[in-house]
Structure 1
C-alpha cells in the first residue's frame, strides 16, 4: 500500500519517501527492499508520476502514485 495521490501548491513540500508505505507479507516487512522511482519538482507546475517497487518471493509488486503541482497564481 502506498500513500494517496496528491495535489500540492508550487513551493509546498511533500514526503515521497517510504513513510506511510506498507510492504509486508506474513508479518515480514520488505520496506528495506522498496525502490522509489521518479522525482517531484515542487517549484515547477506539472504532473509527476512516482513508482514504488518491491520484490517479494521473486515476484515484483509495483504501484504508481501521481503528484500534481499547481500554481494558484496562473
Structure 2
C-alpha cells in the first residue's frame, strides 16, 4: 500500500519515506527492499511523480504517487 497522491503548499513538508507503506506477501515484509524513485522540490510549484518499486518472488511491483506543490500567492 502506497500513500495517496497529495497536494502541498510551497514550503510545506511532505513525508517521502517508508512510513505508512505496506510491502509484504504471505506475512513476510519486503519494506527493506523498497526503492523510492523521484524527487519533490517543495520550493517550486509543479507536479512531481514518485515511483515506489519492490521485487517479490522475481516479479517487480511498482506504484506511482503524485505530489502537487501549489503556490497560493499566484
2:32 corresponds in structure 1 to 32
The equivalent of 1:20 in structure 2 is: 20
Query: Could you report, residue by residue, the CA deviation over 1:21-51 in whole angstroms, capped at 9, with x for unpaired residues?
Result: 1000000000000000000000000000000
Q: TM-score, normalized by length of structure 2?
A: 0.99
Q: Partners in 1 of 2:66 and 2:51 — Cα distance? A: 9
Which secondary structure does the structure 2 equivalent of 1:20 belong to? coil
Unaligned runs of 5+ in 2: none
Give me the TM-score of the superposition, normalised by structure 1: 0.99
1:69 partnered with 2:73:
no
Question: Superposition RMSD on alpha carbons, in Å?
Answer: 0.3
SS in 1 for 2:32: helix
Unaligned runs of 5+ in 1: none
Deviation at 1:9, TM superposition (A): 0.1
